[in-house]
């Protein structure tokens, strides 16, 4: 019955010569307004959108409208380049795309791969983290992440952080903390759905 927000800090949007916005899976829903804002600020925007398979891609047309170039990748090769968004990003960098900043939003493993792709080229890279959140006000500590060796709370200090400073190993472990409970909840939901369908 109650709604609170927005929480955390706003994206830092300004005009750059060349920005890359990377959206993986449902992360594309968050990448879209960022790409649009950079375009409206006068930046040249190169977007990369990826998913496991073509029918899981979202917001293609919307991303295309706010991008100077849109590149697509699918894990299985059913659309665009076969492979990962980080593979596409690496090819663009190697072709000479001089990105001022890369924004990446999606699964944690994808964001880590993007960070490792840009690190050798010293390209400023921002990731939007999505750890487990409970209260959204920094009081519970569930969304804590280590950035640059310091504890940060994604709900109030983020969700965007310097990708090269994020401890992705710790973040991945924390995200798996409730795996067994999540599986149990999914199973119960499926059982209830089967009962309701009869």
| Whether the predicted pLDDT of 196 surpasses 70 | no
Q: Give all domains of the chain, ordered by start, each with its CATH number.
A: 18-197 (3.40.50.80)
- pLDDT above 80: residue 168: yes
Higher pLDDT, 80 or 139: 80
45-54, 90-99, 152-161, 169-178: segment of lowest average pLDDT: 169-178
Q: Do 73 and 83 contact (CB within 8 A), yes or no? A: yes
Those residues whose C-beta lies under 8 Å from the C-beta of residue 9, and which sit 6 or more positions away, are 157, 158, 160
- How far apart (Å, rounded) are the C-alpha atoms in residues 135 and 155? 9
Q: What is the mean pLDDT of residues 21-37?
A: 97
The Cα–Cα gap between 123 and 164 comes to: 9
pLDDT attached to residue 133: 75
């Amino acid at each position: 019955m109650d709604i609170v927000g927005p929480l955390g800090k706003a994206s830092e949007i300004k005009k750059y010569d060349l920005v890359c916005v990377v959206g993986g899976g449902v992360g594309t829903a968050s990448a879209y307004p960022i790409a649009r804002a950079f375009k409206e600020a006068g930046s040249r925007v190169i977007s990369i959108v990826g998913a496991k398979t073509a029918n899981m891609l979202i917001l293609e047309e919307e991303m295309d409208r706010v991008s100077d170039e849109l590149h697509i990748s699918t894990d299985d090769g059913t659309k665009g380049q076969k492979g990962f968004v980080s593979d596409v990003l690496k090819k663009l960098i190697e072709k000479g795309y001089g990105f001022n900043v890369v924004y990446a939003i999606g699964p944690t493993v994808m964001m880590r791969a993007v960070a490792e792709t840009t690190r050798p080229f010293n390209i400023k890279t921002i990731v939007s983290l999505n750890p487990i959140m409970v209260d959204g006000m920094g009081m519970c500590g569930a969304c804590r992440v280590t950035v640059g060796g310091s504890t940060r709370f994604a709900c109030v200090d983020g969700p965007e952080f310097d990708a090269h400073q994020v401890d992705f190993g710790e973040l991945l472990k924390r995200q798996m903390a409730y795996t067994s409970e999540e599986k149990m909840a999914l199973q119960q939901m499926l059982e209830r759905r089967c009962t309701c369908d009869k």
